[in-house]
A = this chain, B = another copy of it.
Amino acid sequence: MPFESSVWIEELYEMENGRTMKLKVTDKLATYDSKFQRIEIYDTKAFGRMLVLDGVFMTTEVDEMGYHEMLVHVPMCVHPNPKRVLVIGGGDGGTLREVLKHKEVEKADICEIDGDVIRLCREYMPALSCSFDDPRVTVYTEDGAKFIAERKKAYDIILVDSSDPIGPAAVLFSEEFYKNLSECLDDDGIASTQSESMFYHPNVIITLAQYNKKFFKVPSYYFTMVPTYPSGMIGFSFCSKKYHPIKDLKEEKAKALTKHLRYYNPDIHRGAFALPQFIRTKLEGILY
């Protein structure tokens, strides 16, 4: 079902704010209304295949590395022995794929509420969804917030690969979620959580930083660049019970890993924690 050359898709969520990105679409691969959301997969001229949930651009083949590599390798290269890893959300598989590049991982659980996202990504986005059959992986099609509330000290690393704080992912931006996140991690655990854009959503970042500080001893925040996300970048809360994001970086491990990556390296690991002054000022007294 190839499209006419004049077909473009716009991100709906940012329309009301008066700023939106438009991508030229070359093919429509899937549209499905799941129990939770509208799932769409397109082929685009500039960014390859793209997953869209409820009108929001979630990930594209060409620029997903900035997101997935930084969500995963920053905490994984700080924790000295990340054997047990949980991914919340992440139905496209990109986060799981990066987790499994770490040989010391013995167990990679993924808890994605919407099994139809996994199903469609496995069919249409193989570059991302290539790791679901790894023997270390267990897929839970459940509510991530409930999942972590029921488990104590069960993981070394938890990666929250969520959509925005509207719709099914809203619960992943609550104080209770951060409390449970802390309790679901072992005593030296680290979580990285998708925490929006410093340009467009500073108030979300401030709120999450407050939760992070309340439940973790070493709270921090870092960013990565993703051209198809609103404002071209996105940030992560680094929620750590023991290890410091820069002082405890395992330089040699990070360097060895870098050879197989497109975005992450030890320098950008450190650089990602350097924030522009306008957001640093807002986080003064919370994280700094």
Asked if A265 lies at the interface with its beta carbon under 8 angstroms from chain B, I say yes
Chain B CB count within 10 A is highest, among A229, A232, A280, for A232
- For the complex, give the distance between the alpha carbons of A18 and B25 in Å: 8
Tell which of B10, B20, B199 touches A225, judged by Cβ atoms closer than 8 Å. Answer: B199
Q: What per-residue 1/0 map shows which CB atoms of A8-20 lie under 8 Å from chain B?
A: 0010000001111
CA distance A276 to B44 in the complex (A): 23
Does A227 lie at the interface of the complex (its beta carbon under 8 Å from any beta carbon of B)?
yes
CA distance A23 to B19 in the complex (A): 5
Contacts of A45 in B (CB 8 A): 17-19
Q: Please list 17 pairs of residues, one from A and one from B, whose beta carbons are closer than 8 Å in the complex, sorted by A's number.
A: A17-B45, A19-B24, A19-B45, A19-B227, A19-B228, A199-B225, A199-B227, A200-B227, A225-B233, A227-B233, A232-B232, A261-B277, A262-B277, A263-B276, A265-B280, A268-B276, A271-B273
A210 within 8 A of partner (CB): no
A263: chain B residues at CB < 8 Å are 276-278
Distance from A8 Cβ to chain B, minimum over Cβ atoms (Å): 8
Considering the complex, give the chain B residue whose CB is closest to the CB of A44: B18
Q: Which of A17, A227, A277 has the most CB of B within 10 A?
A: A277
What mask results when residues 253 to 288 of chain A are scored 1 for a CB within 8 Å of chain B, else 0? 000001001111101101111111110100000000
Bound form: Cα–Cα A196–B56 in Å: 27
CB–CB B10/A18 < 8 A: no
- B21, B199, B262, B274: the one contacting A267 at CB < 8 Å is B274
Q: What 0/1 readout, one digit per residue, does chain A (40-54) give for beta carbons within 8 Å of chain B?
A: 000011110000000
Expressed in whole angstroms, the Cα–Cα distance for A277 and B224 within the complex equals 12
Q: Which B residues touch A268, using CB under 8 A? A: 274-277
Chain A interface main SS type: mixed
Q: Is A247 an interface residue (CB 8 A)?
A: no
CB < 8 Å: which of B18, B22, B231 contacts A20? B22
Residues of B within 8 A of A219 (CB): none
Return A264 CB to nearest CB of chain B, in Å. Answer: 6
Q: Which residues of A contact B (CB under 8 A)?
A: 10, 17-24, 44-47, 63, 65-66, 199-200, 225, 227-233, 258, 261-265, 267-268, 270-278, 280
User: Closest CB of chain B to A205's CB: distance in Å?
Assistant: 15
| A53 vs chain B, min Cβ distance (A) | 20
Docked CA distance A277–B22 (Å): 27
| Chain B residues in 8 Å Cβ range of A229 | 232
Give every chain B residue within 8 A of A270 (Cβ-Cβ): 271, 274
Q: Are A22 and B47 in contact (CB under 8 A)?
A: no
Shortest Cβ gap from A279 to chain B (Å): 9
**Residues of B with C-beta under 8 A to A265:** 274, 276-277, 280
